[in-house]
């Protein structure tokens, strides 16, 4: 009986410890979020953080499928942009939509690792990696995690398919000419997507001619449909009046 008295508390303690070790269930996509392809299937998608063609050179945590997910309000407004831009011979192409908060954390951890800069030539050829956070290129929170932001460009119709990304290829830097850098199949915007450089600032006066006109076309069409552009990145737009302004979601991106 004495042994039993000592055994029972130990059993309860072990059970408590085991219960604490159980992993919490993965958060699910909220009902107010949608797959963009369900509302606007004609919008092209090239979800960069699902694959290797991004500034880290690897698949990013939380991107389990190459899908654009957005808060419903954001997706509905983007669908309106698509309808209007198609009338003048273009289509939208998205590179990133909802971004799990865990991905933002991974960006910060990567930026603090000085040993990993093998994608510098393509994405930050003129900025030291140690300066990416201080210069604001990578932030601790993102409107993408609120389901309110989208990274987007324009592609002329009929669509010219982009060449598949080859990790072993020697591509030009993101600030090289449109003919030299990796082609997204889209319009010349003066830099590549996710280019950490002042030339990516939407109204940088060194961007002239066709590229400047293309940026203006994109900005005008997005702003007419309640999107606010981010002046430091020509591709980044956030919904005005977003539904979750204070919530940073962390559910993984999965196939529908």
Residue 7: the pLDDT is 40
* 76 vs 161, residue with greater confidence: 76
| Residue 199 pLDDT class (50, 70, 90 cuts) | very high
pLDDT (average), residues 104-115: 96
Instruction: Work out the average pLDDT over 54-65.
Output: 98
Interval 219-235: pLDDT, tens: 999 999 999 999 999 99
User: Closest by alpha carbon to 146, among 73, 71, 94, 72?
Assistant: 71
Q: What pLDDT is stored for residue 230 in this prediction?
A: 97
Q: d(Cα 215, Cα 213) in Å, to the nearest integer? A: 5
Whole-number pLDDT of residue 121? 94
Separation of alpha carbons 47 and 36, rounded Å: 12
Mean pLDDT of the chain: 92
Q: Is the pLDDT of residue 16 over 90?
A: no
CA dist., res. 237 & res. 173, Å (int)? 24
Both tokens assigned to 60: 């990013």
Interatomic CA distance for residues 109 and 112, integer angstroms: 5
pLDDT of residue 120: 96
How high is the pLDDT of residue 126?
A: 97
The pLDDT of residue 87 is: 98
| Residue in 231, 211, 233, 237 with CA at minimum distance from that of residue 123 | 233
Whole-structure pTM value: 0.90
Q: Return d(Cα 43, Cα 91) in angstroms, integer.
A: 6
DSSP assignment of the chain equals: -HHHHHHHHHHHHHHHHHHHHSPPPPPPPPTTEEEHHHH-TTSEE--GGGSS-STTSSPPTTB-SS--EEEHHHHHHHHHHHHHHHHTTEEEEEEE-S--HHHHHHHHHHHT-TT--TTHHHH-TTS-GGGTTTTTSS-SS-GGGGT-EEEEEEEESSPPPPPPP-TTS-PPPTTS-TTTSPP-SS---SS-TT--SGGGSTT-TT--HHHHHHHHHHHHHHHTTTEEEETTEEEEEEETT-S-TT----PPB---
> Which domains are delineated in the chain?
25-239 (3.30.1380.10)
- Residue length, the chain? 256
Q: Which residues contact 247 (CB under 8 A, 6 or more apart)?
A: 146
Residue 18 above 50 pLDDT?
A: no
Model pLDDT, residue 195? 98
- How confident is residue 22, by pLDDT bands cut at 50, 70 and 90? low
The confidence score (pLDDT) of residue 183 equals 87
Check whether 6 has a pLDDT greater than 70.
Answer: no
Average the pLDDT over 176-188 and give the result.
92
Rg of the chain taking only CA atoms, in angstroms: 22
Whether the predicted pLDDT of 71 surpasses 60: yes
Would you say residue 5 has pLDDT above 80? no
Residues with a known catalytic role: 233
Digit-coded pLDDT (tens) for 138-151: 999 999 999 999 99
Percent with pLDDT over 90 in the chain: 84
């Amino acid at each position: 009986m004495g042994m039993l008295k000592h055994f029972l508390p130990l059993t309860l303690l072990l059970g408590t410890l085991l219960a604490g070790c159980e992993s919490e269930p993965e958060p699910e996509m909220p009902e107010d979020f949608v797959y963009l392809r369900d509302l606007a299937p004609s919008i092209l998608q090239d979800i960069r953080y699902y694959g290797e063609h991004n500034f880290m050179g690897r698949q990013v945590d939380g991107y389990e499928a190459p899908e654009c997910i957005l808060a419903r309000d954001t997706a509905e407004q983007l669908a309106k942009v698509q309808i209007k831009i198609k009338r003048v011979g273009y289509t939208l192409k998205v590179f990133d939509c909802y971004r799990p908060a865990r991905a933002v954390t991974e960006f910060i951890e990567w930026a603090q690792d000085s040993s990993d800069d093998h994608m510098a030539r393509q994405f930050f050829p003129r900025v030291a990696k140690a300066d990416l956070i201080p210069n604001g290129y990578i932030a601790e929170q993102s409107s993408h995690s609120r389901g309110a932001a989208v990274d987007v460009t324009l592609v002329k119709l009929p669509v010219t398919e982009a060449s598949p990304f080859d990790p072993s290829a020697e591509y030009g830097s993101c600030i090289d000419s449109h003919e030299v850098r990796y082609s997204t199949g889209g319009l010349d915007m003066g830099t590549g997507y996710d280019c950490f450089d002042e030339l990516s600032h939407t109204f940088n006066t060194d961007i002239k001619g066709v590229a400047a006109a293309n940026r203006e076309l994109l900005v005008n069409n997005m702003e007419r449909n309640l999107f606010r552009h981010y002046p430091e990145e020509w591709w980044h737009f956030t919904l005005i009046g977003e539904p979750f302004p204070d919530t940073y979601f962390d559910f993984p991106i999965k196939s529908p």
